[in-house]
Amino acid sequence: MVEEVLSSDLRVELLLHDAAATDPRVLALVDRARAAQVRLMPASRHVIEACSAVETPQGILAVVEQPHASVDQWLDARDLLLVVADRVQDPGNLGTIIRIADAAGASGVVVTGGSADPFNPKTLRATMGSIFHLPVVEREAAMIQARLRAAGVKVLVADQAGTIDYAEADYRPPLAIVLGNEGQGANPAWRASADAMVRIPLYGRAESLNVAVAAGLLLYEARRAIGGNAHRSPEKVREGSG
């Protein structure tokens, strides 16, 4: 996470590090931060442990300016591929959705009211640093619905009761893909306003898919249908690992 944030455009306000650390990666990050004129603060191991949200901290913590984004920066884009996380309550699921959206070259993620906090420590860790590179905003569902409608953005809602197989859906941009609550699915208002309700077939006995898994299937199907890599330069496209 610290490596990713130091590679981003966000301002790192403070780097707290274990004064007795010998891990080469930690020492390299301290050197990078020093070169970038980030404020450094060495501390004892027990101070690092008290400040960290994990049981076994790696010896380095960062205080980072919270990123800010505006929906307006997306809606005029003809190649818009937007993800709406509607009342996704599990921080791990939300963080993974953000990570997948980043990997698939999405324009950004909108998190609606009733969802987990995108800046919750568990959410942040699940993004694996993607939240430092992909715009994420929190907005009420009614507001974003109105903005998408006014901008002429097509809305696809993932729903197991949908009438269209996800492999046959129209993913031409500008497009917003809505992923709903783990137990209840998308808000009925999204279903009422959707251009299409898409389902992912279940061939075994499982009742449903995890929402982050559904996000991966839909976003990569959208990327395949759109073609190319609309939101990143070709040199940044690389092979990913699971």
pLDDT recorded at residue 234: 39
Amino acid code (one letter) for 168: E
Give the integer Cα–Cα distance in Å for 7 and 12. Answer: 11
Instruction: List the strands of the sheet with 81-85, edge to edge.
Output: 136-139, 108-112, 81-85, 175-179, 154-158, 196-199, 164-165
- pLDDT score of 233: 41
Q: How far is CA 47 from CA 19, 33, 43, in A?
A: 10, 20, 6
| Beta strands 60-64; 12-18: pairing state | antiparallel
State which residues of the chain have pLDDT below 70: 228-242
Show the domains of the chain with their CATH numbers. Answer: 2-64 (no CATH), 72-230 (3.40.1280.10)
Query: Both tokens of residue 206?
Result: 């499982």
DSSP 3-state of 9: coil
Widest CA span in the chain: 60
Task: Specify the pLDDT at position 199.
Answer: 94
Q: What is the pLDDT of residue 228?
A: 56
Burial class (CB in 10 A: 0-12, 13-18, 19+), 125: middle
Q: Contact at 8 Å (CB) between 56 and 81?
A: no
Helix (H, G, I), strand (E, B) or coil at 58: coil
Distances from the Cα of 11 to the Cα of 59, 63, 117, 141, 231, angstroms: 20, 9, 21, 30, 23
Task: Return d(Cα 137, Cα 69) in angstroms, integer.
Answer: 6
Percent of the chain with pLDDT over 70: 94
